[in-house]
Amino acid sequence: MARIKLEDDFKKAIAGLSHKQKDRLLFRLIAKDKALVAKLHFELIEAEQGVTKEDRRAAVEEELINALEGYKNHYYSPGYLLLNIRDLSGRINRHVKATSDKYGDVYLNFLMLNHTYRIFADQLREASPSRSNTFDKYVVKRAMRLLNQLVKMHEDHFLDFEEPMKELGNHIGNQHNTMNVAINLGLDVNYLLIPERLR
């Protein structure tokens, strides 16, 4: 949503409102933005109760694993699996927006992708290129995004992700369709398999 530039006279008029009027306006505006509500709830309520971003990250991790394990008995196709993965990705995004957890963004995305392959590698391998193409593109683009995020991370944090990087690189390398998409989209899987190359 584009920001509107407020005129100085309008700002002064708003500043002149009573506290009660300002509170009423503020509550009405905040309620229209779910991400802002979640962020403020985390900062003003949960943080006061001692809930940390690490606590929230652990809860999301458990949700992701439980959801993926739950999909195990309901696999139909790579396309339907992708719908579920996108739903989980939205859960990660909401966590990151609420907590500004950049580390958790990378951690949870690696977890989601790797755990998906741990469970569904065989089914994905058996799918035709036309059936798995959209799923493969999603994985490859997500891997490229993760590599870009890792380049910007502090070296101490980067070391935490060497194993998940290698695991994802191996998963992609073991999937013929995904590997072809990686080549077509310009993802060098060696950056995942040999993390030192990224530094």
Confidence of residue 33 (pLDDT cuts 50, 70, 90): confident
Question: What is the phi/psi pair of residue 180, to 5°?
Answer: -65, -40
pLDDT band at 96 (very low <50, low <70, confident <90, very high): very high
Among 35, 172, 53, smallest CA distance to 104 is for 53
Tens digits of per-residue pLDDT, 40-94? 777 777 777 887 889 999 999 999 999 999 998 889 899 999 999 999 999 999 9
Q: Where are the domains of the chain?
A: 9-50, 52-198
Closest CA relative to residue 130, chosen from 173, 83, 78: 78
Other residues' Cβ atoms within 10 Å of the Cβ of residue 110: 22
Residue 32 corresponds to which tokens in the numbers above? Answer: 């229209």
- Is-above-0.85 flag for pTM? yes
Question: C-alpha distances in angstroms, 5 versus 18, 62, 132, 136?
Answer: 23, 42, 46, 42
pLDDT band at residue 157 using 50, 70 and 90 as cut-offs: confident
Stated as kind and residue range, the H or E segment containing 4 is: none
* Between residues 40 and 28, the one the model is more confident about: 28
